[in-house]
Amino acid sequence: MYRQKERKRLRNAMGTREVALLALYVPYFIVVFLTYAVQDLVRTLRKSDGHALSAMLFSARGEGHPILWWSGSLAAFGLWNLAVAAEQKDLQSLLYSLFPILYAAFSLWVFVRIDLRPPEVHAEETERMLSAVYHLGVPTAVLALAQSFFLNRWGDVLVLLGWYPWRGGTGFRASGTFENPNFAAVFFVFFLFLGAGLIERSTSTRLRLVYAGELSLYAIALLLTGSRGGMVGLAAGLVLYAVLFAAGDAAAERRREANLVKKLHTTPLTHVGVTLFSAPWLLTSAIPRFSLWRDSLAERGEVWRKGLELFREAPWTGHGLAAFTKVPPEVLGESVPLPHAHNLILSLLVDSGVLGFFLLVPAFYLIVRVLGELLRRNHPWGRPAAAFFLALFVHGLVDFPFFSPQVALLVIAVQSFLIAEAYPVRRNLWTTWTVPALPYGGTVSHRGR
């Protein structure tokens, strides 16, 4: 009876997960969804009488909870860019600067929603939530396939929903519900690693087959995006996933060296990743538009040179968010303005300068720290998350995925979820704030309460 009541309460509390995915499918819902998240966060903290916030503030021996450092870094970054935009009187940059502030509140909301779960049902509800998200991500992959045949001709109709089929370049590239195929590639790579984690965790053969079928759909959709950065990032993530998978099993069996070599040799993911890097002929056929690789690097080089010029003009403050759109496209040999400098670090430096980039350093550090903590505990979602973030940052060498609000929401939600797994508050309060987090799926004792 208790578990049924808790499940009902959690369904009511977490019932927004399907609504949240609307923001991924219909970009116009992003602002509405972020506004709802802020309102719900305030309402939730009021109901807790400040106990949840106090626990976050005074946990970790007075250093502050990692979620506060994560959200605080995002908020400080937004406020800095807001000040730069106000100084430059740039309305476009001013509007873009509001998003990091909303992202900060959104990250707190995700953390609080997950952390409010009772320890007895946390693992079960997490599996249920991730499985539902994985299934609900299928429609955008289906749309990418449909665009390959006929929907791309209805571009003007799809724009009404905020979907912008890719029309740049000479060849077709599927973009799903994203305005750019490179942004869609990040989405599909995430679901590929999420699917790998779900298959690994599932004990049902039927469910594994369903997951595998959807995983194949995501893989095909990724190929249709024609994103070379996405494919190279996926290959790097596959190798890391295989290494971590083998190392985890080897450590469990207490024969690290022998089992590590054995597992690496027998893990198909290892062969896929290593072969992509070692066999040029297969790399040519596996990565979309590989024949254009040299031309693309030449184009990227021109964009990077212009980005460095802009950075030197305002190295400390930057030019404001989305400043690269002001560069005349003909200067870069393009027909339309480019939204960013096609490199994660360079784009941040051009937009926000050294000072703005410094404000994001805690956020980047926390990604590494949280992943390290989850991997140290052999947490089941540590391996897929580490592989995804490596793929994301490898992709970021030739692109700036965070420019898309849909991708930014996805990454922030994933990191906030991981922080809740690595550094829970409410589950620790059942004992003491200084006790290490419970093992995944572990239960707590109610003695002494």
pLDDT of residue 105: 92
Per-residue pLDDT at 391 exceeds 90:
yes
Report the pLDDT averaged over residues 290-301.
63
Q: Is 132 helix (H, G, I), strand (E, B) or coil?
A: helix
Label residue 288 by pLDDT band (50, 70, 90). Answer: low
Per-residue pLDDT at 184 exceeds 80:
yes
Label residue 103 by pLDDT band (50, 70, 90). Answer: very high
> Which tens digit of pLDDT belongs to each residue from 299-322?
777 888 888 998 999 899 998 888
Q: Are 374 and 388 in contact (CB under 8 A)?
A: no
Q: Are 186 and 401 in contact (CB under 8 A)?
A: yes
The DSSP 8-state label assigned to residue 401 in this structure reads G
3-state helix, strand, coil in the chain (%, to 5): 75, 0, 25
Report the pLDDT averaged over residues 1-17.
48
Per-residue pLDDT at 336 exceeds 70:
no
Could you count the other beta carbons within 10 Å of the beta carbon of residue 81? 28
Per-residue pLDDT at 429 exceeds 90:
no
Decide if 200 is inside a domain.
no
Residue 278: which residues within 8 A CB-CB, separation 6 or more?
none
Distances (CA, A) of 219 to 145, 212, 213, 337, 442: 11, 10, 10, 30, 34
> 188-197, 201-210, 274-283: which has the minimum mean pLDDT?
274-283
Q: How many folded domains does the chain comprise?
A: 1
Per-residue pLDDT at 389 exceeds 60:
yes
Q: Are 14 and 122 in contact (CB under 8 A)?
A: no
Task: Provide the token pair at 280.
Answer: 């040029």
Comparing 286 with 256, which gets the higher pLDDT? 286
Q: Residue 411 belongs to what domain range?
A: 2-175+296-373+397-429
pLDDT of residue 446: 38
Comparing 375 with 332, which gets the higher pLDDT? 375
Per-residue pLDDT at 171 exceeds 70:
no
Report the pLDDT averaged over residues 429-441.
46
> 64-73, 146-155, 239-248, 431-440: which has the minimum mean pLDDT?
431-440
Comparing 82 with 119, which gets the higher pLDDT? 82
**Given the structure tokens 């906030």, which residue do they identify?**
416
Angle (CA) 313-315-316 rounded to 5° is 130
Distances (CA, A) of 370 to 58, 416, 423: 19, 10, 8
Comparing 24 with 302, which gets the higher pLDDT? 302
Decide if 161 is inside a domain.
yes
What average pLDDT is seen over the chain? 77
Label residue 424 by pLDDT band (50, 70, 90). Answer: confident
Label residue 84 by pLDDT band (50, 70, 90). Answer: very high
pTM tops 0.85: no
pLDDT of residue 363: 96
Decide if 338 is inside a domain.
yes
R_g of the chain, CA atoms, integer Å: 22
Decide if 342 is inside a domain.
yes
Label residue 144 by pLDDT band (50, 70, 90). Answer: confident
> 62-76, 135-149, 211-225, 263-277: which has the minimum mean pLDDT?
263-277
Strongest mean pLDDT among 152-156, 356-360, 402-406, 422-426: 356-360
> 71-85, 90-104, 291-305, 353-367: which has the minimum mean pLDDT?
291-305
Distance CA 391, CA 409 (A): 17
Decide if 385 is inside a domain.
no
The DSSP 8-state label assigned to residue 438 in this structure reads P
Decide if 227 is inside a domain.
no
Report the pLDDT averaged over residues 83-93.
90
> Which tens digit of pLDDT belongs to each residue from 343-382?
999 999 999 999 999 999 999 999 999 999 999 988 989 9
Decide if 354 is inside a domain.
yes
Per-residue pLDDT at 48 exceeds 50:
yes
DSSP string across 302-371:
HHHHHHHHHHHHSTTT-S-TTGGGGS-GGGGT-SS--SS-SSHHHHHHHHHHHHHHHHHHHHHHHHHHHH
Decide if 9 is inside a domain.
yes
Distance CA 175, CA 177 (A): 6
